[in-house]
């Protein structure tokens, strides 16, 4: 299987990174992930600094993930999670998704859970959380669900992810 193929092994390591907006929530997640039995690699921020830049932490985190795409995932945090995901998706093999809370339509429609579909359909290996939109309970639930949801391996999803991976490999 190619370096960028479907992840078939159990996640063993979770890399964390954040800026000042995600600092407090990252520390809560770190403690819980260790309790769940994951090897956690913390790429910062290591202190609360309102002037820090998320790129300084997300880039080292992604470099860690691409070393072992089959066994490693990352959770990155910022105010909205958007900028962090943009940086993460610049790396070949990374499929970062943003989660700021499950959308609940008021017109009675049912929508699939974004966390579940990000794993089942997209084989997302980076979860970017908007710390200003989620409380601890919501973030912990999302992280646990995301880490425990497997990629479906349905042919259409494998095909689409392969196309994405080929784009990042060849520019």
Residue 157 and residue 72: Cα distance in Å, rounded?
20
Residue that is written with structure tokens 């910022």 in the block: 78
- List the structure tokens of 33: 């992930």
Q: For the chain, where are the E strands, in sequence order?
A: 13-18, 39-42, 72-78, 96-99, 126-130
Active site residue 121: yes
Among the listed residues 121, 138, 141, 157, the single catalytic one is 121
CA distances from 75 to 44, 85, 100, 132, 138 (A): 12, 10, 13, 15, 14
| Tokens, residue 124 | 């997302």
Nearest by Cα to 18 from 168, 48, 99, 117: 48
Which one is catalytic: 7, 20, 84, 114? Answer: 84
Could you tell me which of 163, 153, 150, 134 has the C-alpha nearest to residue 26? 134
Q: Which residues are catalytic?
A: 84, 121
């Amino acid at each position: 299987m190619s370096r960028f193929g479907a992840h078939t092994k159990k996640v063993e390591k979770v890399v964390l990174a954040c800026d000042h907006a995600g600092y407090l929530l990252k520390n809560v997640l770190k403690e819980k992930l260790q309790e769940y039995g994951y090897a956690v690699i913390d790429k910062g921020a290591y202190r609360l600094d309102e002037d820090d830049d998320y790129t300084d932490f997300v880039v080292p985190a992604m470099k860690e993930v691409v070393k072992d795409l089959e066994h490693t995932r990352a959770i990155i945090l910022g105010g909205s999670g958007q900028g962090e995901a943009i940086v993460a998706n610049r790396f070949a093999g990374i499929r970062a998704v943003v989660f700021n809370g499950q959308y609940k339509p008021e017109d009675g429609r049912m929508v699939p859970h974004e966390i579940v579909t990000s794993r089942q359909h997209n084989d997302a290996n980076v979860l970017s959380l908007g710390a200003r939109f989620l409380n601890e309970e919501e973030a912990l639930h999302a992280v646990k669900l995301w880490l425990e949801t497997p990629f479906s391996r349905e042919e259409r999803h494998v095909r689409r992810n392969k196309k994405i991976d080929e784009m990042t490999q060849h520019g």
